[in-house]
Amino acid sequence: MAEFQEISKLSALHPKPAGLVLQYGTSGFRTNAKQLDHIMFRMGLLATVRSKKTKATIGVMVTASHNPEEDNGVKLVDPMGEMVTQDWEEHATQLANADQEDLLTALKNIIEKEAINMSQEANVFVGKDTRSSSASLSQAVLDGVSALGGHNYGLVTTPQLHYMVCCQNTQGKYGEATVEGYYTKFCQAFIQLTKNTSNRTDDQKHLCLDGANGIGALKVREMESHLKKELQISLNNDGSKGRLNHQCGADYVKVQQKPPTGVKINPGERCCSFDGDADRIVYYYTDSEGTFHLLDGDKMATLISTFLKELLTQAGLNLKIAVVQTAYANGSSTHYLENTMKVLVRCTKTGVKHLHHVAQEFDVGVYFEANGHGTVLFSKAAEEKIQQLAEDTNVNDERKKAALLLRNTINVINQTVGDAISDMLLIEAILAIKGMTIQQWDTIYTDLPNRQLKVKVDDRRVIDTTDAERRAVTPAGLQEAIDNLVKKYRQARSFVRPSGTEDVVRVYAEADTQESADALAHEVSLAVYRLAGGVGDEPKPLH
């Protein structure tokens, strides 16, 4: 067929380096940008056949999120704005690793296996972040999509691309499939939510933002006028000078537990950081003594679920709300949610797609990873009930008010994927409505001291886990060793898991004091090193 000849011709322009093997990881392919040209072309092909299969628009986002500037990556977005399904992740890996001369066969295998009608039209939305390699790599994706009806959105945040794919496939019901439509939808909802919060001072409207020198900074600047000064953002690390994710951004702040460079922070001031593709956010402040306080995904999940639960009660709506976390959630947050807030908490494997999936089981599913990826999902039935109540003329003022707030809350949230911009607007609105400072939010519960370490091993796949990654099944003896170490400390918990994005084993430990958490993390690292084939020097104690 003519299209296959065309593919052959174009693929010669995007050759695969011999011997290179890459996996579709936790969120797509990610590595040094120099190794990705053929992957991009092939993901353009795959997105096109995925579009034919689903008879819907598919998204391709070129980004390596919080990784350094020299890396890049690519991930596929399914019709409702969610991550691509697991069987197609496998197709992606197959196609990516086919030798140059086998590419057509690999593609035809997928087409056959999925029974794809090649005469079906295709539509692919392509987005990219601000990395210098993103321009040519997204062009390689477009070459793969070639002539088949791709739409190039150019520079967008990852969640903006997810949003636009969803808008397109719901014929505009979710909003208009443009960046402008995105700003209009979320900013209008924010303004509605905050309009009756009387007496907000300029201080309360002010937010200090670290844009990680990435796409989020650019897009916040574009969005600003839509906020009508109801949120006044001082934008730092806007990409005009500094390097992407370099000593700044959500990952740096969370891992280093300190403020980003390039930002002057006044004591008590509310601050937040995005990551490089703006699908992740953390909040923080420094107190009058200069001590740094981080408010991570767990703190956001708690604030949001408390707010929603109160509104649902006021509205008299009997909807099932749950919080979805991972093993990294601080033990204090889980304890607070279950025992004080009395909300259902579920734990899943690491990675947004896993949390998203579980959150879909509830009327209201609030999901957050501690690292700041997260959002809220409302079931169709829940949205309808809220909508009906908001329009009902026979309900009392209190219920009505709660229903209207819930309706606007739904509209300020990007339900397709965790979104730093939308999460920021939601948190800002909740703090405004509750008249709460960041310090008051921080004192809802106190985090247990914790430590994360990495251990290099010969092959991290020797570690297999169960129970949402909280227990190791292999290698033999490792879990027992961890259990025995945990027993030595108070309020302690520890687990290990192979990373999905780096060639390391990750170790997490928490306990009643920082010294204990550090000691436990070290001892567990040693157990991994000894029982799971550690390479290089033995892990050293932290103190």
Whether residue 512 contacts residue 447, with contact meaning beta carbons closer than 8 Å, is answered with: no
Q: Nearest approach, Cβ of 356 to ligand 16G (angstroms)?
A: 9
475 is in an annotated binding site: no
369 is in an annotated binding site: yes
Question: In the stretch 373-412, what mask flags binding to ligand 16G with x, by CB under 6 A?
Answer: x---------------------------------------
Residues 268-297 contacting ligand 16G, CB under 6 A: 279
- Compute the distance between CA of residue 6 and CA of residue 242 in angstroms, rounded to an integer: 41
Which amino acid, 528?
A: V
Residue 442 makes contact with Mg ion by CB under 5 A: no
Q: Which is nearer to Mg ion, 43 or 406 (CB)?
A: 43
Answer yes or no: 65 catalytic: yes
Burial string for 488-498 (b: 16+ CB within 10 Å, else e) reads ebeebbbbbbb
| 220: nearest Cα among 454, 455, 428 | 428
Give the separation between CA 334 and CA 226, rounded to whole angstroms: 36
* Shortest distance in whole angstroms from residue 501 CB to ligand 16G: 4
- Mark the segment that binds Mg ion (CB under 5 A) among 58-66, 86-94, 164-172, 478-486: 58-66
Q: Is 348 annotated as a binding residue?
A: no
| Sign for the pseudo-dihedral over CA of 373, 379, 382, 386 | positive
Distance, CA of 537 to CA of 63 (rounded, Å) = 33
Q: What is the residue-wise DSSP string for 379-442? A: -HHHHHHHHHHHH-TTS-HHHHHHHHHHHHHHHHS-TTS--HHHHHHHHHHHHHHHT--HHHHH
Q: Which is nearer to ligand 16G, 27 or 273 (CB)?
A: 27
Distance (Å, rounded) from C-alpha 499 to C-alpha 507? 10
Residue 277 binding partner per list ligand 16G, Mg ion, none, with a CB distance cut-off of 5 to 8 Å that depends on partner kind = Mg ion
Q: Give the DSSP H/E element, type plus range, for residue 472.
A: strand 471-474
| Position 134 contacts Mg ion (CB under 5 A) | no
- Contact pattern for ligand 16G over residues 61 through 100, marking x by CB under 6 A: ----x-----------------------------------
Residues numbered 333 to 352 that lie near ligand 16G (CB under 6 A) are 350-352
26's contact among Mg ion, ligand 16G, none, with CB below 5 to 8 A by partner kind, is ligand 16G
Residue selected from 11, 31, 51, 65 as contacting Mg ion according to rule CB under 5 A: 65
Comparison of 152 and 499: residue with beta carbon closer to ligand 16G: 499
Is 143 annotated to bind ligand?
A: no
Report, in Å, the least distance between residue 505 CB and ligand 16G: 10
**Distance of alpha carbon 174 from the chain centroid:** 20
Strand order in the sheet with 71-77: 29-32, 71-77, 57-62, 123-128, 150-155
- Whichever of 419 and 428 has its CB closer to ligand 16G, that residue is 419
65 carries a ligand binding annotation: yes
The reply to whether 500 sits near ligand 16G by the rule CB under 6 A is yes
What is the closest distance, in whole angstroms, from the C-beta atom of residue 378 to ligand 16G in the complex? 21
Q: In angstroms, rounded to a whole number, what is the distance separating the alpha carbons of residues 332 and 30?
A: 33
- Site size for ligand 16G, by CB under 6 A? 15
Q: Which of 27, 51, 65, 332 is catalytic?
A: 65
Instruction: Please check if 506 is assigned to a binding site.
Output: yes
- Name residues contacting ligand 16G, limited to 22-41 (CB under 6 A): 26-27
Residue 371 binding Mg ion, by CB under 5 A: no
Q: Could you check whether the bond before residue 475 is cis, i.e. omega within 30 degrees of 0?
A: yes
Residue 369 contacts ligand 16G per CB under 6 A:
yes
Using CB under 5 A, which residues numbered 309 to 338 contact Mg ion? none
Task: Give me the least distance between CB of 277 and ligand 16G, in Å please.
Answer: 9
What phi-psi label fits residue 435: left (phi over 0), alpha (psi between -120 and 50 degrees) or beta?
left
Q: Is 119 exposed, middle or buried (0-12, 13-18, 19+ CB in 10 A)?
A: exposed
Minimum distance between the CB of residue 134 and ligand 16G, rounded to whole angstroms? Answer: 17
* Using rule CB under 5 A, residue 251 touches Mg ion: no
Any known ligand binding at 498? Answer: yes
- Ramachandran sector of residue 325 (left: φ over 0; alpha: ψ -120 to 50; beta: rest): beta
Q: Is there a binding annotation on residue 12?
A: no
Q: Distance (Å, rounded) from C-alpha 226 to C-alpha 221?
A: 10
Contacts of 391 (CB under 8 A, 6+ apart): none
Among 57, 134, 371, 415, indicate the residue that binds ligand 16G (CB under 6 A).
371
Cα dihedral 355→360→361→364 (10° resolution)? 100
The reply on whether position 144 binds ligand 16G by CB under 6 A is no
Which of 251, 277, 510, 518 contacts Mg ion by CB under 5 A?
A: 277
The answer to whether the annotation marks 78 as part of a ligand binding site is no
Whether residue 500 is annotated as binding a ligand: the answer is yes
How many beta carbons lie within 10 A of that of residue 355, not counting itself?
29
**Residue 502 is a binding residue for ligand 16G (CB under 6 A):** yes
Interaction between residue 275 and Mg ion (CB under 5 A): yes
Q: How far apart are CA 261 and CA 251, in angstroms?
A: 13
Q: Which residues bind ligand 16G (CB under 6 A)?
A: 26-27, 65, 279, 350-352, 369, 371, 373, 499-502, 506
Active site residues: 65
Q: Which residues bind Mg ion (CB under 5 A)?
A: 65, 275, 277, 279-280
Binding site residues for Mg(2+), as ranges? Answer: 65, 275, 277, 279
